[in-house]
Every structure is written in structure tokens, then in C-alpha cells.
Structure 1
Amino acid sequence: MESRENLPLNNQSEHHFLSLHIAHKGKEKSLHVKKTHALAFCVVACLFVGGSAVTLGSYFNTKNELMTYEQQLLQVERTNRKLTQNSRALENENTEYTQNIEKLQNKAVELEQKINELENVKNNLNDQLNSINTNDSASTQLRNAVASCLVQEKPQVVGTQDFTPIVTTSFNKVTALAVQLDRINSRLNETETSFTKVATNVTETLSAYSDIPCGMPVAKGIISTGFNPEGLSTISDGRVHYGLDLSTRSKILPIVATAAGTVIEAEYHSEYGNYVLIDHGNGFVTRYAHNTENLVSAGDVVKKGDTIATTGATGQSTGIHCHYEVILNGIFQDPMDFQ
């Protein structure tokens, strides 16, 4: 039997799956791959490819899951940011709510003060009206004048006030209440304006019938000689003077009564010149002297502010002026004390 090594090359090749012949430096070398080796290589290759496929599949699945988790995390972060914004909005709303409450409290205080002021004015007017002598004819005229003022200036109420409905949320309730208070405040301002006008008219009417001297008889008079009943050298020119001299700078100007009363004298006197003497009752008498012309006569009833004469320089006078005296129970008073 021949040995296997002595078999022809072709016969040996039949037992191999793949044979490679390599020539190098004049020598020939052969590389033989048996079928078992090839099969093993294929198995290994299949295992590698399969393992790689499984690994890649796991990789992509893991990557997809990671992306899903990242998206979920982003969603959670967005939700958290939204909750934070809502929380801040609630804090701002709470702050604004608190501020609105404080504003409402301040408005309530202001409204209460306005109401108190109106009540005080009303009470003062009532006191003044009650103090007037009801038997006096001038008082009857006064009451008629006051009643006329009240009728003319009585505020008109048009329809009923429609208030904003109270809505659901606390914040909107406060806002609606603020609107209501603004409307109430506006109506109070209107009422206050009208009431003040009425009060002014009543006060002016009361003042016109007041029997207490107040103010100066000449609107633009300048005091040239002061009140000096004791003749003190430190006052004016140092001579005895029982009233005030109101200079009108050479202009003839109206002289008005400083209180309501009855003219008891309107005559000429060598010292006073043309003068008017008014009895105001309650012990008060006023004198207006050196007049160019007397415009009233004894027995005339005058109100405060009525023109009774014009300034002049009659009698013992060195210039156009009005000599004004205030006498209480026969005693000369300083007219400056009745301003």
C-alpha cells in the first residue's frame, strides 16, 4: 500500500476545501483549508454576524429608550417650569389682591371723612339758622333766600345707581368692589360740590344779614391813620383818633356797610362832614364819615355789603378817604379787631 505522502498532488487536493499555492524566493508553498475548517469559519462568522446584529439591535433599542426618557425628562422640566410660573402668578395675584384691599380700606376712610365733613357743615348751617330771631322781618327774608338757594342748588338724582355685579373669584370681587367705591366716590364728589355751593350761598346769605361788623367798608382803602383813642405818639401821627382812616388815593370809591342794620343818621357834621351812622343791634354801631355823598337816609334797612356812600374829603379832612368807627355799647373799638 502506498503511503499518503506519496500520492499525487491532485489526489491530496481532493481532501481539502480550498488550496492556495504561494511562490516565494523560488520556493512554492501551499495553504490548504479543509472543509471542517471552512465549516468552522462559517459557523464563527455566522455567530459573529448574529451576535453583532443582536448587539446592534440592543444598542438601538437602548438608544430609543434613552431618547424616550430624555423627552419625558424635558416634559417634566416644562411642567415644572409651568408650575413655577403659575406659582409666581399666584404670588403676584396675592400681592395685588392685598394692595387692592389696602386701597379699598383707604378709600373707605376717605369716604367716611367726606361724610363727616358734610355732616359738620350741615350741623353748622343748622346752628346758624336756628340762632336767627324768627320774629325779625330780616330773618324772614333770610329764610326765604336760604330756601331759594336750596331749591336752586338741590342736586338732581337721575335714575338709580347700577353697580357692577359681584363675580366669582376673590380677585374679581375686589376689583368689582373697587369700581363700586369709585362710583360712590364720584357721586360723593358731585354731591359735595353741589352741597358746598349751597353752603356757600347760605353762608353768604347769612353773612349779608349778620349784625356783627366784619371787614372794611372800602375795598381798596389803605390805612393812613390808625386807631389811637389815647393819643399815643407811637401810633400814626400821635393824635387822638377813634377809628381808622382808609385812604383811596384821591379816588372816589363806594363805601359799603360792614354789617346788616338800620340807618339812624345820615347827615352833615362840621367835623365828620357827610357821615352815615348804622345801628346793628346787640350794642353795635358803625360810623362812615367825610363822604362825598350819602346814598341812604335815616330809617333805611341795609344788609352787609350794601353801598351807603362814597369816599370824600368833607368836614375836617386833608384828603379823600373814609373815616370808619366801630362802637360797642358806647365804647369805641379798634376796627382791626373785626376783620
Structure 2
Amino acid sequence: MEQNRPLLEIKNLKKYFTIESGGFFNRKSGNLTAVDDVTFHINKGETFGLVGESGCGKSTLGRSIVRLYQPTGGNIIYDGEDITNISQHEMMKYRKRLQMIFQDPYASLNSRLTVSEIVGEGIETHNLYTGQEKLDKIYELLTTVGLKKEHASRYPHEFSGGQRQRIGIARALAVEPELVVCDEPISALDVSIQAQVVNMLEDLQDNMGLTYLFIAHDLSMVKHISDRIGVMYLGKMMEITESNELYRKPLHPYTQALLSSIPIPDPKKNKENKRIILQGDVKSPIDPPEGCRFASRCRYVMDICREVTPELREVEPSHFVACHLVK
């Protein structure tokens, strides 16, 4: 791999879902625009945080990157190779390098399989280990994620939510990937468990040289784990910059509103904190009109915002914003 070349490049990625009107002919009635013209990159060894409100397209973007969804347009460049439209057979060699941790630890594990079978499935598919070597690898993975050897023979229903997520993480790591898409891996867990899982992910990254796309809506947690952060709204990328810079100097009005909603532990400071309350209606992602997606809720909206879609521009070094207001 060339020096300074990103491990993952996403170029103008689009993912639309066709909406059927129903009836005898099942005619198409429109497109739901889940991801629309998104561009960013992730460097090897870094964590790229992806934040935004529920329904903004974060998870769809993550699933499109690992090709669980076939993109409607744009390009996915992994380690210099365009994998956007390669066949499922060709994609197999990239499945080993690209893995995903799912949001719901209850729905993402097959209840009919033992932990050993769940974690070992990828090992078997990619012919990495067999026999006792495979079993030893499974035991090693379980220990790595904070579980025990004897857990291998149990079923998912015998574990708590936090333990199930650890099993999901062990499954993702089983094929020794380079990049892991973490799709809100802590949102379904108790607060006391969330920090444990995030700390474990950071330790695994240091020990295994992993690269993360960390999708979440918990802004304080994203700041803790991410090197750079991208902010999405209704399928569009609104702002991208380094983590500390985003929290120090948010430029997009939507980012400013998001950050103002973060609770501050100090009751006095929290009371003094001026929260930005968004007014107006959220635009429908079904065949959205031209212009800025955030225009209907922006307190600084101008005529051009409703007519012209702003491009994601570098307004300061390594700080990209899609807003007509920011010069």
C-alpha cells in the first residue's frame, strides 16, 4: 500500500431504495434517498466517527460500504481497488478484510448456533484454521473480548446484552480484518457497559492495528474514540473535520445544534449552556427537492439555500463544510 493513501475512499456514494405503490401492478411510486452523494476517506489505523440523527442514513452508508447493500451510484475504493460493482465471488476476498459489528446484539446472532459456531463461521468460510487450531483460535478470541473458554458451548440467549455484543465483536475479529464498520455498537447497551465496550475496542485497535468507521448518535462517546468526525443529515454529509476541531469550532448550523444538546456533567454549567432548539419540519427523504436538506430547520436560511445544494468544501485546512453561509 502506498504511503499516505487512504485505506478506504468513498466517492459520491448514493443508495436509493425504490418505493412500490402496491396494487396488482406494484408500480414504482418514488425513491427513498438514504445516502446521497457522500464523499470521505478513512486513513489506515484511524477511527472515523459518523454522527447524525436517527434516519439520516448512517447505518445504510455502513452497510453499503461492506456491500450488504448494493450502492445505487458512486465508488467504494478499498486499498486502491474499486469494489463497488465487483461480483459476490470477487467480494469474498474483501469480506475477510472488511467486517461489521451490528447495532442489535440480540438480532445479529443466530440463536440456534453455539458461540463457538458463531465465532468460527468466518474462520471456516475463509479456510483459516481447522480442527484443534480452529478451536484454539475461538478460545483466544473469546478471551480477547473478555469472555471465557467455557462460554464457547453456550447459546446467545444465555448471555446479557453486553456479553452478546462481545460475541459479535469476536465474530468480526475472527477473520483478522483490517477495517471494521461499527454500526452503533453501544446504543443497545446499558450506560455502565458502554464504556467497557468502547475501551475494549480502543485496546483492540492498538493491539491489532485496526481501522474503524464508528457510527453513533452519542456525540460525547464519538468525541472520545474518533480521530476525525463526519456529520450526516438526511443522506448528505454536512461537515467533516478532526474531532477536537469539530467540538471546538463547529461551522455548520446543524453541527452547532447537535453539539449544543450534549449534557454537561456540571449542573451549573449545564443550566448556563445555551441549547439550540431546531424549529421547522424535517424534509422527507422520498424524492427530496433541490437545495440544502437542512434549510427547513436552519435559523440562518437564505433564498439560495432552498434553490442550490451546497457542495462539501474545504473552508479551513482539513475542515470541510456543506453550507452557503460558511465562506
TM-score of Structure 1 vs Structure 2, range by shorter chain: under 0.3
The alignment's TM-score, normalised by the length of structure 1, stands at: 0.23
| Higher RCO (C-alpha under 8 Å, 6+ residues apart) | 2
Bigger fraction of residues in helix: 1
Larger radius of gyration: 1
